[in-house]
Structure 1
Amino acid sequence: MSQYGAKYKYGKASPSDGFDCSGLIFWAYGKHGITVPRHTAAQSKAGKWVAARNARQGDIVVFRIGRRLHTGLVADKGRFLHAPSSGGYVRMESLSGVYWKNKIVGYRRIV
């Protein structure tokens, strides 16, 4: 949450440079001494699968948008934190929102 409002920047993973979606996850876990893959495809397979009903704060939520994957961090029941796209910023969104609800592929628990 400390990076809420940070700018989106493709290929970046730091508060000073900005974040892309996988960079935000890489940075957040790294701040807690936990290593996760840097790229979205690898993050979508990291850790273990968890059912949506069991997802908790800090789990990775994986979306499929067209042919691409997108990742975010579960913030609480029903919301996630992510770096969405060029020109955007790190923000919270609803997992049940019209755009995101049907794009969820699954949830991954790292710890």
Structure 2
Amino acid sequence: MTKALTFVCTLVFVTILWGVTAPAYADTYYDVQPGDTLWQISKLHGISVEQIQTSNSLNSTMIHPGQKLLITGSAPAAQPITVSRGTSRAEMVIDYARTLIGAPYAYRGQSPAGFDCSGYVQYVFKNFGVDMPRTASEQFNIGTKVNSSEARPGDIVAFASGGAINHTGIYLGGGSFISSTSSHGVDIAPVFGSYWANHFYGFSRIIP
């Protein structure tokens, strides 16, 4: 009888202890601040952009200051994933673009399951509330043209064959860009490398 009682007491104690120490992933609300993007907010709370969109019935990544977002199943407040408020929008774009390195190439692909070049550019910018056109030439032409000497991270870099734009990527700075190619999927390459230099067309600025 004594052993049975001891076992029951121990079980109850362990159950109570587990209930106290187990991390709680509770729902919460977040008030959108000026300059916020869904990607930045998702990083702050350790969840995906898609989770935020689903929880708030959002059909796009567009949000506005003062908007209250339901954050479902966010990580405990004691262990947030922080993103500096001083980080520029262009820096966040290229940081996010890098997270997709290794995604495969797919003709007409528009998701991490497979991207073509313009589908990749469109997908990255969409996460920051920028609705880009679907084709490479339209993506280049929608921005403000800049000289190579003035190019900065986050700009669109375009390449062409026979004078027609057929490839776009995102400039990372330092002479490198990131894009999705049929041979490597999403990867980084030099803008003026042996192949790309012969097809370089120009830079275009999307983010002022």
TM-score by length of 1: 0.91
Q: Deviations over 1:49-103 (max 9, x none)?
A: 0111111111110001345511111012200001111x53110001121111121
Q: Is 1:80 the equivalent of 2:154?
A: no
Q: 1:1-111 counterparts in 2 under 5 A?
A: 1-15=98-112, 17-66=113-162, 69-85=166-182, 87-111=183-207
- Higher helix content, 1 or 2: 2
- Please state whether the residue corresponding to 1:83 is helix, strand or coil: strand
CA distance in 2, matches of 1:19, 1:65: 20
CA distance in 1, matches of 2:185, 2:132: 22
- Which runs of 4 or more aligned residues in structure 1 lie more than 3 Å from their structure 2 counterparts after TM superposition? none
TM-score by length of 2: 0.50
Amino acid at match of 2:141: K
Q: Deviations over 1:26-55 (max 9, x none)?
A: 001001111111111211211110111111
Amino acid at match of 1:32: F
Q: Which has the higher contact order (CA 8 A, sep 6+)?
A: 1
Kindly report the root-mean-square deviation, in angstroms, between the aligned alpha carbons of the 2 structures. 1.3
**Number of paired residues?**
109
Structure 2's unaligned 5+ residue stretches are: 1-97
